[in-house]
Amino acid sequence: MNSIRINLGTKNVIIFALAIQIALLTSSGLSQMGIHISGMRQIAGFLYLSFIPGLLILHILKLRVGSIETILYSVGLSLFFVMFVGAAINFLYPLIGISQPISEIPLIVTFGILTFTQVILCYLCDKDYLQHFFIDKDKLLSSSALFFLLLPILAILGALLVNYYRVNVLLLLLLLAISLVPILVAFEKIQQQIFPLAVWTIGLALLLHNSLVSKYLIDFDLHTEYYLANLVVTKSFWNTSIPNNINAMLSVIMLAPILSIVCDVDLVWVFKVIYPLLFSLVPLGLYQVFRTVFNEQIAFFSCFFFVSVSTFFTEMLGLARQQVAGFFLLLLILLMVDKSIKVAKRIVMAVIFSFSLVVSHYGLSYIFMFSLPLLFILFILFSIKAQERRKKKELRLVSSNFIFLYIVFALLWYTSFSSSSAFNTIVRLGYHIISSLSELFSPAAGGLEYLTKEFTIARQISRFLFLLYNFFIGIGIIDLLRSKKLDCDYNVFSVVFFGWGLASMSVPYLAHGQASIGLTRLYITLLTTLAPFSVLGGMAVAKYFSVRVKVKDRVEEKFLKIFALSLTIFLLLNSGFISETIIKDFRSSPVSSKYIIENGSISEKNIFYGLYPVVHDVLSAQWLSKYRKDGYLIYADRRAIYNVLTSYGMMGTPELNGDLRWLRENAKVDKDAYIYLRYFNNVDQVISDGLSPDAWWSLSKISYLLEKGNKVYSNGGSVIYYVGS
């Protein structure tokens, strides 16, 4: 036999689920006795929470799908199960005297009972079902497959080398190897059967090479997410009244603490390893979507473009809730093109995943909410008859019932938790947009600012390629509209997302300003449907010019080779490879950490130390949290406040903690206050004043404050001053 048979029949699934449950219960019991078997509880707990519940639900619902869909739907249903069960017991258990429901014993007992109940239902509903998947041994052990399996390992080893020895050779080799893959695909050196594995491992390697380059949390919103999730872990209860948008997001406030407690993994590593592992399934799912709608080559190049956008492996790592929400959005898109599921069951799945989207990220949820009526209008405009849809047995997510149900659930959720913070955010955003319509197409207020910014040479080249891809996307959408192939949800959804892209570039504050989702974060979301049109639009342009110059021989094939080369350059630019090895201009990526620390400019260090906290900052934040006097104000720069002081100091953000103050130029510090200087402030004598590279000023401008204060803490990097009365 040249193939490996994987039996996912009902009886085998039941045995597998019970085996994982026994392994988890055994390792948990041994842990209570002080006996720890390395890796056993972590692996068993991860599978138990992220895969088993969903796999059992698939069998209970009698859903017959392919191997990749089985993985994706199982993970999605499992995450839904964990989040909503956690929320339910948080409210119900205190009513029966269990005051700490989000703790080890209540969680393991609850999930144990529910999993066993699922097993019984699975047996009763589908006990005789047999399902087999086959894996070709020759392809599994081929040099191509082994090469792709090696990529995540290289990412882990490369990150460790950077962490401990500041040696970036492995990471540079990793990035170079990944960047050459599109060219190999274009010249048909990699078999199409390997494409799903390639897409998944490339995405995972890119995520891990950045996530693991530091032992500490990466910047962006992750520090606030950690703070709120850690409150749940330490108090074993979710306080729903905390007025913060993130506090209403089960993707952070329930999923992360439960994973941490059940798997016995520190919360930091849940965010740095488990969330990227889940998010790496998004490119795999997109490949399945694109392959279904188009073909394997277009699907691969589209996915490679998606993971090559720097937001995927940088900013998204600091946004745990958007990683989870992006996965649920992918599942909704997959349902649009998956014809293997009957209509009624597909509706059930769509409701589950859309509700999960609501409790995962308010920004994506609102985008999806406002997209639904637009989809409905487009269907009417293009006169797509309901009778034709019923013949095709396709699911239309924009039915009036679905729209009503989704909007009602979203509004109820956002107005019921966290003092309606998430609901108030969209109201403020709407107010900003309406009051600023006079600034329509203003570069300062809309996303057009990206077109006018001055960049270094490497980033200018990257911007040129980025704009070229977006031009192709525009051409691809125009071709779609001209062809009138708007007979499926995916195509219409793509048109709506393209409209969001145009609006983000022109409408003030929609994707650039207070309360907005952010231009880069919005863009990576829009690519979940628009990425293939970068290839299709490019082909259309190539065909147009080939007719003009009378070249008709293998135009598409030649274009794909040129497109593959551009993707190679695009990734090398976005990952920092070219800035580190060739052009040597602005450096801010993990591969340049040694140069930045030893020889980097202030602007480069400003970005680097903001993204990657050092041990000095973590220790000083923890010390200040432990020994500071209540009620005394704490002055620090913006990066410190929303970074280590929020998370490792467990002080929360200034919106939640009135004691935190932003250290400004020529500041007047109130009496009885602390001045917190992180490593970058103290060693480089600079205060960061924002998120841009050049937002900084000299520490000498507040020397008069430091002179009258007393240094109460120093660890050789970070220092803390006390200014008395």
From the CB of residue 390, how many other CB atoms can be counted at a distance below 10 Å?
Answer: 11
pLDDT at 1 over 70: no
pLDDT, position 384: 53
> Comparing 144-158, 317-331, 651-665, which segment has the lowest mean pLDDT?
651-665
Kindly state the average pLDDT of the residues 559-566. Answer: 95
pLDDT 10s digits, 161-170: 999 999 999 9
The span from the CA of 656 to the CA of 413, in Å, is 21
pLDDT 10s digits, 506-516: 766 665 555 55
Kindly state the average pLDDT of the residues 521-532. Answer: 93
Quickly state the pLDDT bin for 322 (edges 50, 70, 90): very high
pLDDT at 647 over 60: yes
The span from the CA of 322 to the CA of 362, in Å, is 9
pLDDT 10s digits, 32-64: 888 888 789 999 999 999 999 999 999 899 888
Please, are residues 72 and 288 in contact by the beta-carbon 8 Å criterion?
yes
pLDDT 10s digits, 168-193: 999 999 999 999 999 999 999 999 99
pLDDT at 288 over 90: yes
Please, are residues 54 and 75 in contact by the beta-carbon 8 Å criterion?
yes
| Angle, CA 652 vertex, CA 648 and CA 655 arms, to 5° | 155
pLDDT at 393 over 50: no
> Comparing 130-139, 209-218, 481-490, 656-665, which segment has the lowest mean pLDDT?
130-139
Amino acid at 696: W
The span from the CA of 608 to the CA of 588, in Å, is 6
Quickly state the pLDDT bin for 679 (edges 50, 70, 90): very high
From the CB of residue 386, how many other CB atoms can be counted at a distance below 10 Å?
Answer: 10
Higher pLDDT, 261 or 705: 261
Name the token pair of 519: 């231009």
Helix (H) or strand (E) holding 720: strand 719-723
Kindly state the average pLDDT of the residues 202-208. Answer: 98
Please, are residues 394 and 344 in contact by the beta-carbon 8 Å criterion?
no
Distances (CA, A) of 570 to 49, 276, 309: 37, 22, 8
Please give the radius of gyration of the chain, using alpha carbons only, rounded to the nearest integer. 26
pLDDT, position 396: 62
Kindly state the average pLDDT of the residues 123-146. Answer: 76
Please classify residue 465 by burial: count the beta carbons closer than 10 Å to its beta carbon, then call 0-12 exposed, 13-18 middle and 19+ buried: middle
DSSP 623-666: HHHHHPPTT-EEEE-HHHHTTTTTTTT----TTT-TTEEE--TT
- Dmax over Cα atoms in the chain, in whole Å? 83
Quickly state the pLDDT bin for 3 (edges 50, 70, 90): low
Phi, psi of 65 (to 5 degrees): -130, 170
Kindly state the average pLDDT of the residues 357-373. Answer: 89
Name the token pair of 573: 């630019």
pLDDT, position 489: 79
Q: In the chain, what are the domain boundaries?
A: 3-136, 142-405+441-579, 605-723
User: Considering the entire predicted model, what is its pTM?
Assistant: 0.94
| Angle, CA 234 vertex, CA 230 and CA 240 arms, to 5° | 70
pLDDT, position 721: 95
Identify the three-state secondary structure at position 676: strand
Please classify residue 514 by burial: count the beta carbons closer than 10 Å to its beta carbon, then call 0-12 exposed, 13-18 middle and 19+ buried: exposed
pLDDT, position 395: 47
Higher pLDDT, 125 or 627: 627
pLDDT, position 46: 96
pLDDT, position 292: 93
pLDDT > 90: percent of the chain = 59
pLDDT at 435 over 70: no
Kindly state the average pLDDT of the residues 481-499. Answer: 83
Kindly state the average pLDDT of the residues 561-575. Answer: 96
Quickly state the pLDDT bin for 550 (edges 50, 70, 90): low
pLDDT 10s digits, 592-618: 998 999 999 999 999 999 999 999 999
pLDDT at 394 over 60: no
Task: State the helix-helix crossing angle for 519-548 and 281-293, rounded to 10 degrees.
Answer: 30
Distances (CA, A) of 585 to 158, 589, 592, 605, 686: 23, 12, 11, 13, 21
As a whole number, the mean pLDDT across the chain is 88
Task: Choose the most confident range, by mean pLDDT, from 5-14, 168-177, 583-592.
Answer: 168-177
pLDDT at 491 over 90: no
The span from the CA of 300 to the CA of 592, in Å, is 29
pLDDT, position 258: 98
Distances (CA, A) of 567 to 141, 150, 463, 544: 27, 21, 13, 22
